[in-house]
Amino acid sequence: MTEEKVRLESPQKEGGGRNGGVSDGEMPQILNEALLAGMREVPKGETASYIPELSRADKTDLGICIYTRDGKVYEAGDAEKRFSIQSISKVISLCVALQHCGFEKVFEKIRMEPSGDAFNSLLKLDMTSNYPYNPMINSGAIAVASYLMPVFSFKELLDYAGKLCLDPKIRLDERVYSSEMGHSARNRAIAYLLQSKGIIECDVERSLELYIKMCSLSVTAKSLAGLGLVLANGGFHPKTGERLLDREVVRTVKTIMLTCGMYDGSGEFAVEVGIPSKSGVGGGILSVVDRKMGIGIYGPSLDQKGNSAGGQAMLRYVSEKLNLHMFAWED
């Protein structure tokens, strides 16, 4: 598969089948309209404030990339601007853990249920459950990191992330990592609570360090679209045909993304957009349209739940225009 890139001009920033039968020629207009829809929501949000380095992002940045199975790449806005992957790294870590540590190991002490709470909440872990509710919240992802830490070096995970995202330029953002490590009291509390419950059995500090390093990877909307495409393609590399992930891993990860991927807004997002997705407080959203495309979003202006305000609006627009909702009725 060769890559054919279509670059779309961004508007000026101001305050048949499951693609809806849309032709290649119509895609530029649709993405530009989606960008405008997203820009209208940007002023309603704010950048993440609890990690100082993330708060420095330009809240008016907004970009979208669609990477299709037939090799076409459509971009609009700030699609190739690098930003911090944050919680979207939980998808990568879960993929690697399921692939190499096994389902029994991962889900022995991590559940698969939506929590209904904020991504960094300790409440249910401390009061109502001995196990993290799912791998897409901080407690579950820190536990996953503890399973990976004895098996993989960070360099090996970085290389794995580059392959899954079709982006060999993914790197650790040292400034974000330093900033997050300096403000990690809540995640450290979660990690030691996990240890007290017997969920983390190895070195807590090293597990936490690996978790935060993975959250500090520098990616683009196109990187996320690449990862989405690998998942949409059943775990196969779309260019080489190499199997990167087993089919069962892909199915499980996409299902958990649909039910738990948008923090405590996952249910509403699933109803309105209907695309398995994972957000991060760096402003990214990863979306997977099965057997069709991967979608990557960047928009650091966040709503109160930590999801990109403009990014969600763009995905709503694109989902409707291209008929991408996984339960949409096809005429």
- Which residues, 6 or more positions from 120, have their beta carbon under 8 angstroms from its beta carbon? 137, 138, 186, 187, 190
Residue 5: in which H helix or E strand, if any?
strand 4-7
Provide the 3-class DSSP secondary structure of residue 104. Answer: helix
- Count Cβ atoms below 10 Å from residue 7 Cβ, excluding itself: 12
Check if 131 is active-site: no
Fold agreement between 4-86+217-322 and 89-165+172-215: yes
Of all helices (H) and strands (E), which one includes residue 77? strand 72-77
pLDDT of 4 > 70? The answer is no
Residue 130, pLDDT > 80, answer no
87 flagged as catalytic: yes
Distances (CA, A) of 126 to 75, 114, 132, 145: 43, 16, 10, 20
Token pair 């101001």 in the structure block, residue = 14
Q: Quick one: which of 203, 130, 218 has its CA closest to 173?
A: 218
Instruction: Check: CB of residue 39 under 8 Å from CB of residue 13.
Output: yes
Secondary element (H or E) of residue 125: helix 123-127
Kindly state the percentage of the chain with pLDDT values over 90: 82
Domain spanning 89-165+172-215: CATH superfamily: DD-peptidase/beta-lactamase superfamily (3.40.710.10)
**Span 24-76, pLDDT tens digits:** 788 999 999 999 999 999 999 999 998 999 999 999 999 999 999 999 999 99
Record the pTM.
Answer: 0.92
In terms of Cα–Cα distance, which of 191, 179, 163, 128 is closest to 281? Answer: 179
Q: How far apart are CA 9 and CA 178, in angstroms?
A: 35
The catalytically annotated residue of 91, 281, 288, 289 is 281
> What whole-number distance in Å separates Cα of residue 47 and Cα of residue 56?
8
Inform me whether the pLDDT recorded for 256 exceeds 70: yes
User: Which of 73, 84, 89, 90 is an active site residue?
Assistant: 90
Class of domain 4-86+217-322: alpha beta
Overall average pLDDT of the 68-97 stretch? 97
Q: Which of the four pLDDT bands, split at 50, 70 and 90, describes residue 19?
A: low
55 is catalytic: no
pLDDT tens readout for residues 187-196: 999 999 999 9
Angstrom distances, CA of residue 26 to CA of 21, 30, 250, 276: 10, 6, 30, 24
Widest CA span in the chain: 57
Q: Helix 204-215 to helix 89-100 angle, to the nearest 10 degrees? A: 120
The DSSP code for 126 is H
pLDDT band at 14 (very low <50, low <70, confident <90, very high): very low
Among 293, 319, 296, smallest CA distance to 308 is for 296
Mean pLDDT throughout 108-126? 67
Record the tokens describing residue 102, joined without a space: 């096994």
What are the residue boundaries of the structural domains of the chain, listed by start? Answer: 4-86+217-322, 89-165+172-215
